[in-house]
Structure 1
């Protein structure tokens, strides 16, 4: 990347990795974070970023160092028991008229399992729209609460594709999502739900409560297979608490919800306590995002209004986890007006086979 001395640059950064969160930094340059997931945040400076797959972040960088070349660098972050390769990828932040030599050594990024660096960065992200008009519309009176555990699991494998009796899957509330042959939006709009495409009974709580973040060696890792949806009424105030577990090795998860931006109102370590942890929520200036970091041995809470009718996918942004079934669907029913109802599909839209 070529820059001119004493100019300010806006970098719009997206993590295009399939399976890893990433630290990012530029040698000898401070990053000023101004937006995340296309929503402004209260600006703050940092020596590094943490960004999840599919997540976007806008930062300002001032080209105020000695004219030369400086490393841009990124490395994966993971707090799972099975670590990714510790690869550091670099680019060059090059000033115009530099002599071609690097002016500094490679920047020291946080260690690939540095949860303190991760949590510290995330905790600094706050919403900027506090005193402006209109004010933040953070849900307070909650109509629907959903508590979801996140895990990797196993199910029996009865095909020749497996070397062992079981195969890996992933789950939310112990349900591993099965993709149907008919699009769920099409099935819902045409009232195919009774035809076996999906069911409207995704559990709003885990089937079993246990020490989610404890030592689960020898714990039953079996999951159920299903295409099960959560149905919300239009306009409901929704709270979702996402709880990481140590099943299958644990680790943090970037969870993405289609169709909405939501407020990240809280996060913490250990098992979520519904009696005490809500008192720690930030309801004043929570960031408005669409991908939330769930710490590997902890939880994260989000809130939104169900004001976008339709069928919306929620899934882990790690490709391997999503393909294994760490997904579910939220269906928002129509409101009372045409403007708050699903529009019919265009006549030219191809239909799924068999419909």
Structure 2
């Protein structure tokens, strides 16, 4: 079997056979397997709902997803995306992240096991999502929900984060860019587009410099090409020391406001930080504060690009986004999101998703 193919959509029935094997059909509204993040659901209402929502590019509207959650018919499950076999069966893609990586595939590089996952049709254009510092691939849930009908969306957890877990060795973002390329090699993907948020943007730009012919289009969110000020670097050194002493308990709330802004309900992320070990962030912080300035090389990134940034970003100034967009030779647009902080794709997905989708539909194919 082609490597990784068991994770891809290649027609509902083939996917069901490979992913679940032969299983007894559940009672109406009952999940087949609670241990996995993809759940097969059976419902008499499926056909009616599909007809009602048939104008949503093969997916389901946000109102439908909200009604689906509210109904309680299938439990209190956040719905990322829904697909239907046309025979009264739905496949749900809820938030994929699991603290221990249950059901997630891995690839290895330099002795490190990297967690990743895929959503979308097997033959669709590939888009790789790279998360920000202190985050994991789960931060792209709402974006993948919008894109998974038309793109093969690949998310991964970088060194030190998510289900990949703590790293015991020093690394740079050039190493992380090689990790991203190794993921594509593992999946046997010759060409892909990139979506990188903050740290994920640092990595995506370096990957594009390492193998420029490998990538089609690049979307950069809340990122920069230069280095942080000495004051910002010192604040991260202090964070590293505090985390090593006490874990996240004394810094989680401030980090939440710093990354998401005051209006976003960040309890899920706070809990993730609280669960992370005190040894998780020495090397990731070192990579962050010691990264090199690639501004002189931006002219080499000739890929079609787009830049998103929150107007209220306290971590990276919107001025950095303006400078980045001005220096990228083929940047099509700079989108500044009102009232958004450092994570606009997460906190303001309803604003980011339409132009992101339009950009990828036009340039990632």
TM-score in same-fold range (> 0.5): no
Q: Which has the higher contact order (CA 8 A, sep 6+)?
A: 1
- TM-score computed with the length of structure 1 as normaliser: 0.23
Q: Which has the larger Rg?
A: 1
Question: Whose helix fraction is larger, Structure 1's or Structure 2's?
Answer: 2
Question: Whose strand fraction is larger, Structure 1's or Structure 2's?
Answer: 1
